[in-house]
Structure formats: structure tokens, C-alpha cells
Amino acid sequence: MKRSLLTIIATLVVLAAVLGLVAAGCSSGSAATTTSAGSQVTTATTQASTLTTSNGSMDTTATAGSDTTTAPAGNSTSGTTTPTVVAQGAASPAEAVAQKLGPSVVNIKVTGTTPASDNGFPFGQQTPQEYSAEGSGVIYRADGMIITNNHVVTDEYTGDPVDTIKVTLATGEELDATLVGRDPLTDLAVIKVKTDKQLPVAGFVGALPQVGEYAVAIGSPLGYENSVTLGIVSGLSRQIEGITGAESAAYTNLIQTDAPISPGNSGGALANAGGQVIGINVAYEPPSQTGAVSIGFAIPASTVVNVADQLINSGKVVQGYLGVSLYPDPLDATIKQHFSLSRDSGVLVSEIVPAGPAEKAGLKQGDIVFKANGATVTDPSAFIALIRDMKPGSQVELTIDRDGKELTVTVTIGERPSTTATTSQ
């Protein structure tokens, strides 16, 4: 009898377990738990299910391994349970870059007074005008050396340095800064903050980036400090047309990016996905004037490092000088036909500066340079950068085409005059 009673009890336990499994199988893959208030809460399981918030606005599919938290008792709609999903956004390359490089990018505020001048106004001499502006900078050395653009620390009307410079670090700390040196020909400058602590230094990459790779811009557009935008490298060896004056030399051999660049980004960093600086942001095509969207430019890091080191060590920048003007576009079949040229590749010498290094070496107007020290030359912007980075007194062997004849001319590089505009190299 006792044995039969035990058998009956065991049978009832099995039946209860089976009924429990059937009930669980009717809950669409979710485990149902009744709270003391009588409501139900649902957690995600390994089976995919559609989860809707209490206001019905979210349709999120939860899969195996996803994280959810249970909703409080009574938080249900139309008799269904309502879990709250923990957001898990996809990682962006800009996220890691911002964490690594962000502390090395600073905001720069400048003030000054433009001297009184009649400036041709009909009502006599104008009173002095106070001005203020903002830009960005990148920490170059731990002792407080910071790289920015020359136009950030220069009075745009007089060309003189600004009166005061204040730097705000990523930590929010504001520091006074002084001008170490500036170079209008590359639109670069170095300033130094007064600090007793070591600052976080950015890493710079000497090699040019690849077209299509990620590009991240960090700066202070419109004063929004440490703003981060993501894009790609859109092109290399770019030249901005229509720029005049001594500073125009900066706008050749640039990196083009579609990472949004706005006023205030000048002097900030353009970085690769590894958080290394590939360029210093310098300009962009204004959409309201050009109709262009997301076309920005940066000075390559190799130029930046070269200029910064010279400014820190000597306070000035010495650049190579050839003494020629170049046709601004690379040669092609159309240009060859238009000018009745003998070849459709290389750079065309449109003018020779009298008594300059090129004239002394025998270079002539109309010559086509297609090799420099054995390397193929196809782009005027890249050729300008090559000459600019050479030391005065060094020599460059140019292979040229003159009326269909191939000649070799060796030019001793001169020192570029500080007032020389971009068309003369």
C-alpha cells in the first residue's frame, strides 16, 4: 500500500512537470513570471522576439545573448509584457579616435584691436576696432607647444599677430599662450601655453593617407569644443583655386576630406582611424557660396611637422625655391591640344622668374617637367610641395620636354622669398 502511494505521488509530480512545460511553451519563447501585483514581466531568451516599449514606439529584435532589464510590475500594454532594452550602439571609428586624440586638441580664443585707418571711407578716419575669434589647436609637445593655423593667430586686416591668445584644454582648464612663430606661406603657427604639468601629446604620421580611408576631424566649430566628425579621405594633392596673397601658398598639396569642417575647426586635427594626426584642418568650401557639401581640406602632417620644428628651433621657416610659375592643372590630352604641346603629362612652366634659380640653370617658359630626381612628376601641387621641402643649396635634377626633345637640367635650389605668392615656386 505504501509503495502504491509513492507511485501515485511520483506520477502526479511528473504530470505537474509536463503541464508546466506545456504552459511555458505557449509563451512565445519567453519565461512568464507572476508578480505580487499580478502583472507579467518578460526577459529576452535565446529565441528572437519582438519587444515593444510601454508607449509602443520601439520595435527591437532581441537575439541570443542580448542584454535586457525587466520592466517594473504593472508596466504592460494590452495584456502583454514590456521589457526595457539596454541600447547597444554600433561602435564608430570616431569613438576610439575621440578617446585617444581628444585630450590633445584644444580651443583657442584670440582678441586684438585693428588700428584706426581711413581705408578709403568717405567720412574720415575710422576708430580702432576690437575683434575676437576662435579656432583650434593640437598639442605638439608636452611642455606646452601647440600647433595651429597662422590665420587663427593673425589679424586678418593688418596681417599682424593678435594681441592675446587663450587656450582651453579638453579638461576645461584655460591657459594664457604666447606666439612662438608663424609662417603665412604654409598657414601654420606654433603657440606655447604656460603650464607646470605635462600635456597629452598628439602623434603625427609622416606618410600620406590612402584615399578612401577613415578621417576624423576634431576641433571647435563655432565654439563647440572638442567636436568630432567622421568621414573619409576624399583626395590628395588638392589645390584651392582663387586664393591670392602670400598665404595662398598654404592651399596647395592639401588632403581633401568629407569629414565636416566648419568655422572654428581651423588648426584642429584630421586623424586616421588609429588616432594619429594626418593633417591640420585649414579650410573648407562654403556650401552657401559654392553649392559644395562636405569638402574640407587639411595640411599634410609631414608639412606640419617640418614647419613646426623650424618655428620652434629658429622662429622662422626656410623653404626651397625654384623661381617658376606653373600652369595650375596636370597636363592631359585636352590641355595638350589647346596649347599645342608635345606631351600630355607633366607640369607646364608658364613663367620664369628673372635671375631666379630656374633661369640660372637654363629652364625656359614652355618647358614641361615630367621627372624630378628620377621620380615621375604629374601634378603641379605635389611638385610645389617637393620643391618647398628641399633645403636651399641642394640640387634637383629635372627631366624636361622642350618642343618634343628630352633634356636634363640641374637646378640649385634657392631660398624662397617670404613675399612670394603661390604661383611662383
Rounded distance between C-alpha atoms, residue 108 and residue 220, angstroms: 8
Report DSSP state, residue 375: E
401 is catalytic: no
266 is catalytic: yes
Helix, strand, coil shares, percent, the chain, to 5: 20, 35, 45
Name the catalytic one among 155, 187, 258, 401: 187
Are the C-beta atoms of residues 283 and 240 closer than 8 Å to each other? yes
Rounded distance between C-alpha atoms, residue 117 and residue 155, angstroms: 14
Cell numbers at residue 296, please?
A: 574640407
Rounded distance between C-alpha atoms, residue 320 and residue 160, angstroms: 24
Rounded distance between C-alpha atoms, residue 45 and residue 62, angstroms: 8
Name the catalytic one among 30, 136, 151, 155: 151
Rounded distance between C-alpha atoms, residue 39 and residue 211, angstroms: 57
Rounded distance between C-alpha atoms, residue 104 and residue 228, angstroms: 13
187 is catalytic: yes
Name the catalytic one among 266, 302, 381, 424: 266
- Closest by alpha carbon to 284, among 327, 231, 246? 231
The catalytic residues are: 151, 187, 266
